[in-house]
Structure 1
Amino acid sequence: MTKTGPVGVGFIGTGMISDTYLEHLTRFPDVRVLILGDLDESRAAAQAAKHGVPESGSAADVLAHPDVEIVVNLTIPAVHAEVASAAIAAGKNVWTEKPISVDRQSGIDLLAQAAAAGLRVGVAPDTVLGPGVQTARRAIARGDIGVPLSAQTVMQYAGPDIFHPNPEFLFARGAGPLFDMGPYYVTTLISIFGAVTRVGAVGSQARAIRTVLAGDRAGTEFAVEVPTHVNAIAQFDGGGVSQSVFSFDSPLARTGFVEITGTEGTLVVPDPNMFTGEVKITRAVSSVDAFRGETEWEIVPTTGVEAGRGLGVLDMARAIRSGGTHIATGELGYHVLDTLVSIDESVQTGAMVDVESTVADIPLVPEDWDPFAATIDAR
């Protein structure tokens, strides 16, 4: 029987990031958050009470809930594929935090399982659906900087151990600056330049042992399993190229830096870890003043309704009811993973690596898309 009305949503994982998802998903009229589940059921209950969610319990309770159509998977990266697979086996569509998995094969298997079951997989980040990146993409599509040629991105700071009370998983396999923060930047670049075809990278690790610096566990030491600084270059299907820094080793914080250079100008994209921000363009000038840092900027007016995490879940929910295709698909999530794994392989081998997967061009969000509008019949 075809379901109608707002789409039922359940969460597995109610850690730090669940707050921002819940703040938005509980305000979107086209979805209903019905139940929260966690290994720590008391934490799930506390989050349910905080955000007005009617039920809480275990992961099994979420999977067994008859009205849950989308499971939001906010577990640690090492079990993303396992939890998503369990959701699909239970007959649920799944939205998973990035990355889709920590290795290629489990990502491939997950997409095959979903396809066989006729279910959907969506993968974070959904920041690319926000007004910031969308405004930048529309400017590029209009030809505001001519033909886009190259990009530079930087994400560097001292690392999440300075603020996270349980940072170990962010330095474990499937995380580190490349897999934790890389998806925001790589997804943004793919949405602008198309699929990645080839990558090269070098990496390093400042310290083999880190120390928790925040919370009740401050002073606890833990082992680092991954490179904590990566410099990567990429080539895209359409001919564009990029260079990127991903680092948890820098005392100088510099994050959210994305510049796209075209034949007629350079465009600054807002922080891809955020949903909005200022888009601005500078154009080529003949004056020597350009070499003295006297850059003239043109501000591009931001369009779209500001919201936050949960946009990808909402987009999937609306697509489930309409029969359309959601934007942040599992295929996009897998191509991002394949790119990140290829970068990691290049760090390990010192060789350029071809990215075997591909993905179709990522559509723009309609300009009149409003997450706070009720577009699904409430019956």
Structure 2
Amino acid sequence: MTKIGIVGTGVISGTYLDHLGKLPGVEVVAVADLDVSRAQAVADNHPGVRALSSDDLLADPAVDIVLNLTIPAAHAPVHEAALRAGKHVYGEKPLAVDRAEAEPLLKLAAANDLRIGCAPDTVLGTGTQTARAAIDRGDIGVPTAATASFVTPGHELWHPAPEFYYQAGGGPLLDMGPYYVTSLVTLLGPVRRVTGRAGRAHQERKVHKGPRAGTVFGVDVPTHVTGILEHESGALTTVLMSFDIWAARLPRIEVHGTEGSLSVPDPNAFDGKVELATATQRDWTELPVAGGYAGAGRGVGVADMARAIRTGGKHRADGALAYHVLDIMESLLESAAQDQSLDVASTVDRPAAVPLGASPDLA
């Protein structure tokens, strides 16, 4: 059994705790938070889980993997502290706020024979994996193009403390883009070049929900990003990520090939319908599930990594993939700022497909 210690007990931690408790091969044994009372409240509601300080959690010999659920600006410092404490680490996306923070983490992990994993692990569910299976068996011929869209008027409409979404490491691209870009790399392979444009509709936003409703805060990052990803395979993806759109009817992800098109479900979910239309069958037809961890939820990537640690194999939501996704996103923002197309310096292999019927502790 691989033991997990969680640093950061904010909103997302509840979802992780619920799902990790159902997964084989892993067990949450400790939690820590800057707000000690919040960590204690989590521990009180989860028998067998201890509330510790962050330092004590990192030093605890019972903890094998540190699950880092802090805000984006704290991802790299907490990752580094966990690695220096001799722990494997898995974190929420993005891996870090930029490449300069992320690259040393990969080197530190490699030098100490430790693992880094990073959300999103939604791509390991039946939705994206069924779409990948369809592409790999040639259902749409040779993939040539894709579209990826996420639009919303902003997280301040529902989140009680939304400021971090509009600070370094936030914005629609770094917040939601990892789901889409990770799915696109899983489906179409790595990206070699990008062209981006970016802007923001408002310089300030206002909290709408919770005890701080009415609080006004500044916007430090672009809130509307669009661009083109040139995959190494030659396929071209058009992306749109925005916190500035009130309503739209746009597909989450579609992949188009020489012989047909795929409608891919929301990459922020683990399942969903995959639909196919071809040159000979123009109506959309739902495909049967053909891969992925069935019934998966947040934390399946942690369990997949724990299995790889025990067996010496590879885990799928790994640091190299997360770094390439971050590199793509940062390159898009730099392309917009510099008004020119830019090469993406990093590359990565497509992670191994998840076979139909697989369990995260076995495959």
Q: TM-score, normalised by structure 2?
A: 0.96
Q: Which residue of structure 1 aligns with residue 158 of structure 2?
A: 163
CA distance, structure 2, for counterparts of residue 86 and residue 47 of structure 1: 23
- Partner of 2:114 in structure 1? 119
CA–CA distance in structure 2, aligned partners of residues 262 and 52 of structure 1:
51
1:71-150 equivalences under 5 Å are 71-150=66-145
1:292 corresponds to: none
Q: CA RMSD, aligned part only?
A: 1.5
**Equivalences, count:** 361
CA-to-aligned-CA distance 1:279-333 (integer Å, 9 cap, x gap): 00112259xxxxxxxx611110124411210011000000111110101110111
Give the equivalent residue in structure 2 for 1:335: 324
Does residue 360 of structure 1 match 2:346? Answer: no
Letter aligned with residue 34 of structure 1:
V
How far does the alpha carbon of each residue in 1:151-183 deviate from its partner, in whole angstroms, 9 at most, with x for none? Answer: 001100111000000000000011100100000
Runs of 4 or more above 4 Å deviation: 253-256
The answer to whether the 8 Å contact 1:255/1:271 transfers is no
Q: CA deviation at 1:127?
A: 0.4
Given candidates 218, 224, 231, the residue that maps to 1:229 is 224
1:193 is matched with: 188
Matched, 1:177 2:172: yes
For residue 46 of structure 1, report the CA deviation from its aligned partner.
1.3
Q: Is the 8 A contact 1:77 1:101 kept in 2?
A: yes
5 Å matches for 1:46-85? 46-85=41-80
C-alpha distance 199-165 of structure 1, shift in aligned 2 (>3 A): same
Q: Is 1:152 aligned to residue 158 of structure 2? A: no
The amino acid across from 2:262 in the alignment is: L
Match of 2:283 in 1: 296
Provide the secondary structure at the position in 2 that maps to 1:301. Answer: coil
Distance in 2 (alpha carbons) for counterparts of 1:270 and 1:62: 37
Contact 1:157–1:255, Cα closer than 8 Å, also in 2: no
Deviations 1:252-276 (A, max 9, x none): 0557610000111110111000000
Query: What is the aligned-residue identity percentage?
Result: 50
For 1:361, the aligned partner's letter is R
- C-alpha distance in 1 between matches for 2:172 and 2:121: 18
Match of 2:336 among 341, 347, 365: 347
Q: Residue type of the partner of 1:239?
A: G
2: distance between equivalents of 1:51 and 1:271? Answer: 30
Q: Alpha-carbon deviations, 1:38-81, whole Å to 9, x = none?
A: 00111111122233342012211210211111000011111111
Q: Distance in 2 between matches of 1:351 and 1:252?
A: 30
Alpha carbons of structure 1 residues 31 and 13: separation in structure 2 relative to 1, 3 Å:
same
2 CA distance for matches of 1:186 and 1:240?
Answer: 14
Q: Is the 8 A contact 1:26 1:51 kept in 2?
A: no
In structure 2, what is the equivalent of residue 314 of structure 1? 303
1-side partners of 2:98 and 2:255: how far apart?
30
**CA distance in structure 2 between the aligned counterparts of 1:255 and 1:81, rounded to whole angstroms:** 34
1:375–1:268: structure 2 CA closer, same or farther, 3 Å change rule?
Answer: closer
Structure 1 letter corresponding to 2:245: S
Give the whole-Å Cα distance in 2 for the aligned partners of 1:196 and 1:219: 41
- The 8 Å contact of residues 117 and 302 in structure 2, kept in 1 or not, is answered as yes
Structure 1 residues 265 and 53: CA distance shift in structure 2, 3 A:
farther
Task: Report the Cα distance in structure 1 between the residues aligned to 2:45 and 2:336, rounded to whole angstroms.
Answer: 43
Task: Give the distance between the partners of 2:187 and 2:272, measured in 1 at CA.
Answer: 17
Please give the alpha-carbon distance, in whole angstroms, between the structure 2 residues aligned to 1:87 and 1:256: 39
Counterpart Cα distance in 2 of 1:132 and 1:214? 32
Deviation, 1:19, is: 1.1
Q: Tell me the equivalent position of 2:202.
A: 207
Tell me: CA distance 1:267–1:35, structure 2 relative to 1, closer, same or farther (3 Å): same
Tell whether the 8 Å contact from 1:36 to 1:53 is kept in structure 2 after alignment.
Answer: no
Contact preservation (8 Å) 2:131, 2:187: no
Query: Aligned-pair distance for 1:29?
Result: 2.6
1:115 CA displacement: 0.5
Residue 269 of structure 1 is matched in structure 2 by 264
**CA deviations over 1:129-152 (Å, ceiling 9, x no partner):** 111101110011111111111100
Instruction: Check whether the contact 1:194–1:362 (CA below 8 A) recurs between aligned residues.
Output: no
Cα contact 2:24–2:303 (8 A) shared by 1? no
Which residues of structure 2 form unaligned runs of 5+? none
SS at match of 2:11: coil
**CA 1:348 to 1:375, structure 2 compared with 1: closer, same or farther past 3 Å?**
closer
* Aligned equivalents of 1:296, 1:193: Cα separation in 2: 23
Is residue 282 from structure 1 mapped to residue 277 from structure 2 by the alignment?
A: yes
Q: Displacement, 1:194?
A: 1.1
8 Å Cα contact 1:155/1:254 also seen in 2: no
Name whichever of 93-102 and 50-59 sits farther off. Answer: 50-59
Q: Distance in 1 between matches of 2:105 and 2:81?
A: 10
Shift of 1:203: 1.2
Q: What letter corresponds to residue 207 of structure 2 in structure 1?
A: V
Question: In the superposition, relative to structure 1, how do residues 336 and 241 fare at CA in structure 2: closer, same or farther (>3 Å)?
Answer: same
